[in-house]
């Protein structure tokens, strides 16, 4: 299903959407959905070659696409990327903070720098993006959307670093909703479940863990990047003009089953490895 068969192709015409992590996976899926509905999109990550490939695909949807490289851990680089976005495409009406890092590691084996690296990318990076985008969002009375995850509220084995970061993101999101509502800026999160063909899922749900994912997903399938893109479109659109400070869970109902089965599978995998 193409989103433009349901919503007007002009829904975001003349609007600018800035997306970190937009070169691949969920965030590229989000970019595709906004571009299908008329938006000009800036995609931002560390890897310019990957961004250029994604931009070539997105341009086929007929609108302006700006690939711009920055490490979200570097506030000056993020500010420069957003300034370039504004200069070339106009001020952002929508900012998606999706850049993230994760890997599987038992807590007692994780180095402080490993923990810090993921918190720096996910949490501090999200703050850097929202902070640098504030003036543009104030101008457009726009919306910021963070990419969270179920690990923010349910413990999943071997992801203490990402869990802490995502919980921090949701907390920050609620604070921004509270503080920036008076400027007409809305802040929300999306918590994706397991999305097929993404680096994130392949990093955390290999082998028996994937069997546990399927067994604990009431809708009986992996998500698609369009599932997340469509949720982002909803949150950014006038349909959600009174929605702020919330986490939209898009996981096929997996969170209803909890994480116990996955944790058992993950522990068994680690026991085999040692
Ligand atoms: N297990 C344990 N520790 C790990 C690890 C792993 N699989 N991968 C990295 N680390 C540790 C490193 O050992 C290092 O700590 P140390 O200095 O104490 O040894 C620290 O994390 C930083 O690693 P480094 O590779 O220098 O960081 P980076 O900035 O180049 O990469 C990562 C960031 C680690 C998050 C990397 O996996 C990445 O770039 N990921 C982006 C893509 C991604 O994760 N996508 C999925 C999103 S859900």
pLDDT digits (tens, 9 = 90+) for 13-46: 999 999 999 999 999 999 999 999 999 999 999 9
The answer to whether residue 260 sits within a structural domain is: no
Q: Is 105:156 a contact under the CB 8 Å cutoff? A: no
In a domain, 246, yes or no: yes
The pLDDT assigned to 184 comes to 98
Residue 43 has phi, psi (to 5 degrees) of -115, 135
- The catalytic residue among 36, 97, 143, 148 is 148
Residue 209 lies in a domain: no
| 69 belongs to the catalytic site | no
At residue 126's C-alpha, the angle toward residues 120 and 129, to 5°, is 120
What confidence score (pLDDT) does residue 42 get?
A: 98
Decide if 73 contacts 45 (C-beta within 8 A). Answer: no
Residues 6+ apart with CB under 8 A from 198: 24, 25, 26, 225
Q: Characterize the bridge pairing of strands 143-147 and 186-192.
A: parallel
Query: In a mutational test of the pocket of ligand 1, which residue from 114, 125, 158 has the highest number of ligand atoms less than 8 Å from its CB?
Result: 114
The reply to whether ligand 1 has any atom less than 6 angstroms from the CB of 118 is yes
How far apart, in whole angstroms, are the C-alpha atoms of residue 270 and residue 274? 6
259 lies in a domain? Answer: no
Express the helix, strand and coil content of the chain in percent, nearest 5 each. Answer: 55, 15, 30
* Euclidean distance between CA atoms 264 and 231, whole angstroms: 31
Give the integer Cα–Cα distance in Å for 2 and 9: 11
Tokens 């995502």 identify what position?
166
In the chain, the number of structural domains is 1
Whether ligand 1 lies within 6 angstroms of the CB of 258 is answered as no
Residue 250 lies in a domain: yes
Half-sphere exposure of 264 (CA within 13 A, CB side): 7
Query: Does 148 participate in catalysis according to the annotation?
Result: yes
**Which residue, 19, 32, 98, is CA-closest to 63?**
32
**Residue 135 to residues 5, 87, 141, 171, 183, Cα–Cα distance (Å):** 34, 13, 10, 21, 10
Report if residue 13 sits inside a domain: yes
267 is a domain residue: no
**With a 6 A CB cut-off, is 103 part of the ligand 1 pocket?**
yes
Q: State in Å, rounded, how far the first CA of the chain is from the last one.
A: 45
Q: How many angstroms separate the alpha carbon of residue 114 from the centre of ligand 1?
A: 6
Question: Which of 117, 151, 191, 205 to probe ligand 1 with, by most ligand atoms within 8 A of CB?
Answer: 117
Q: Is the CB of 21 under 6 A from ligand 1?
A: no
- Domain range for 133: 9-196+224-254
Residue 55 — left, alpha, or beta (φ > 0 → left; ψ -120 to 50 → alpha)?
alpha
Nearest CA to ligand 1 atom 12: 114
Tell me the mean pLDDT per 10 residues along the chain, length 274: 91 98 98 98 98 98 97 98 98 98 97 98 98 98 98 96 98 98 98 96 93 97 98 98 98 96 94 85
Distance from Cα 115 to the centre of ligand 1, integer Å: 9
pLDDT of residue 215: 97
**According to the model, what pLDDT value does residue 1 have?**
78
We report the CATH number of the domain holding residue 87 as 3.40.50.720
Report angle CA 23, 24, 26 to the nearest 5 degrees. 120
Q: How far apart are CA 51 and CA 79, in angstroms?
A: 18
Residue 144 within any structural domain of the chain: yes
263 lines ligand 1 (CB under 6 A): no
For ligand 1, is residue 272 a contact (CB within 6 Å)? no
Determine if ligand 1 sits within 6 Å of the CB of residue 125. Answer: no
Catalytic residue among 93, 126, 166, 189, which? 166
Query: Is 65 in contact with 55 (CB distance < 8 Å)?
Result: yes
Distances (CA, A) of 69 to 22, 66, 84, 199: 10, 10, 11, 19
The per-residue pLDDT for 273 is 84
**Residue located nearest, by CA, to atom 29 of ligand 1:** 117
Distance CA 111, CA 105 (A): 10
């Amino acid at each position: 299903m193409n989103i433009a068969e349901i919503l007007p192709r002009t829904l975001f015409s003349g609007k600018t959407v800035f997306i970190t992590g937009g070169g691949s996976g969920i965030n590229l899926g989000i970019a595709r959905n906004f571009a299908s509905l008329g938006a000009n999109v800036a995609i931002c990550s560390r890897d310019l070659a990957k961004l250029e490939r994604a931009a070539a695909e997105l341009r086929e949807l007929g609108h302006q696409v700006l690939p711009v490289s920055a490490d979200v851990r570097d506030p000056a680089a993020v500010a420069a990327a957003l300034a370039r976005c504004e200069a070339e495409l106009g001020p952002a009406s929508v900012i998606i903070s999706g850049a993230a890092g994760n890997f599987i590691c038992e807590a007692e084996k994780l180095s402080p720098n490993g923990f810090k690296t993921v918190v720096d990318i996910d949490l501090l990076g999200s703050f850097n993006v929202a902070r640098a985008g504030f003036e543009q969002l104030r101008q457009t009375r726009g919306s910021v959307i963070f990419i969270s995850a179920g690990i923010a509220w349910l413990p999943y084995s071997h992801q203490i670093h990402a869990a802490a970061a995502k919980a921090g993101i949701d907390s920050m999101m609620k604070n921004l909703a509270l503080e920036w509502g008076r400027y007409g800026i809305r802040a929300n999160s999306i918590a994706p479940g397991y999305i097929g063909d993404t680096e994130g899922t392949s990093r955390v749900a290999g082998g028996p863990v994937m069997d546990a994912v399927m067994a604990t997903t009431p809708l009986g399938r992996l998500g698609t990047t369009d599932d997340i893109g469509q949720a982002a479109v909803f949150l950014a659109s006038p349909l959600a003009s009174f929605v702020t400070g919330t986490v939209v869970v898009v996981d096929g109902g997996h969170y209803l089953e909890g994480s116990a089965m996955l944790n058992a599978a993950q522990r068994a995998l680690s026991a085999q490895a040692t």
